[in-house]
């Protein structure tokens, strides 16, 4: 009995050590339970997954608008999105927009090909003279499965990733984006609606390594 008890304690300690405490200031949203929603466009639909509820967006009218900008207070950051792109979506997909419509902002987008593959497009604008687009049409991925998308911004550069694999990197003298709000499922001016599913968005005020990225997509694809 004592041996079983101590084995259980050891197991619980190992699990605790494998799940470190969140970094202070981290914003971690389950898309099915977003905070501070100012308005809902269309009728985003809750769907069941192995990790609980996610949200399906129809690519035409569905989106959330949140009255907060999670980038405030962050001088370096890692943005992650757990998502599933529909293969029959329109070419331009814009599904996470933080900041302002025309001024300083960060956008996560994809471009969807006729063969049901997609490639990542991440965008940062700080002012009229300072922006960075990370997009490569040659780095395509099959649609209709779950992925982790990430962008790490620190030390004067930004790097994009899909499932922890680097896509592109570029230079940008990043500074805190203090104004604006957030839209999920569409760009803030309501163009390029997203068709697909989203489970989680995490913004960490630190440059994470790929080994520290979320792994939810692996479980969702089982």
Q: Convert the pLDDT of each residue in 105-145 to its tens digit.
A: 999 999 999 999 999 999 999 999 999 999 999 999 999 99
Mean pLDDT of 54-70: 98
Mean pLDDT of 37-56: 98
Q: Are 28 and 35 in contact (CB under 8 A)?
A: no
CA atoms within 13 A on the CB side of 174: 28
pLDDT for 20: 63
| Domain map (residue ranges) of the chain | 25-220
Mean pLDDT, rounded, of the chain:
92
pLDDT for 22: 79
Q: What is the pLDDT of residues 87-100, one digit of tens each?
A: 999 999 999 999 99
Q: What is the pLDDT of residues 32-44, one digit of tens each?
A: 999 999 999 999 9
Range in 6-15, 60-69, 74-83, 114-123 the model is least confident about: 6-15
CATH annotation of 25-220 = 2.60.120.200
Mean pLDDT of 48-55: 98
Closest CA to 77 of 106, 110, 100: 106
pLDDT for 205: 98
């Amino acid at each position: 009995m004592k041996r079983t008890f101590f084995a259980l304690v050891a197991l619980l300690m190992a699990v605790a050590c494998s799940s470190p405490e969140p970094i202070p200031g981290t914003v971690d949203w389950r898309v099915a339970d977003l905070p501070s929603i100012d308005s809902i466009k269309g009728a985003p639909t809750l769907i069941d997954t192995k990790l609980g509820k996610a949200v399906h967006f129809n690519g035409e009218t569905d989106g959330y608008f949140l009255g907060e900008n999670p980038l405030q207070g962050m001088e370096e950051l890692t943005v992650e999105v757990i998502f599933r792109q529909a293969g029959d979506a329109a070419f331009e997909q814009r599904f996470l927009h933080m900041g302002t419509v025309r001024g300083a902002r960060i956008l996560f987008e994809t471009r969807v090909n006729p063969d049901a593959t997609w490639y990542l497009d991440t965008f940062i604008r700080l002012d009229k003279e300072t922006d960075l687009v990370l997009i490569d049409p040659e780095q395509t991925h099959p649609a209709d499965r779950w992925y982790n998308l990430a962008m790490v911004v620190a030390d004067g550069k930004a790097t994009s990733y899909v499932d922890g694999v680097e896509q592109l990197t570029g230079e940008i003298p990043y500074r805190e984006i203090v104004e604006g709000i957030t839209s999920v499922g569409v760009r803030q001016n309501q163009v390029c609606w997203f068709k697909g599913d989203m489970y989680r968005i995490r913004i960490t005020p630190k440059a994470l390594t790929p080994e520290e990225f979320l792994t939810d997509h692996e479980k969702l694809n089982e």
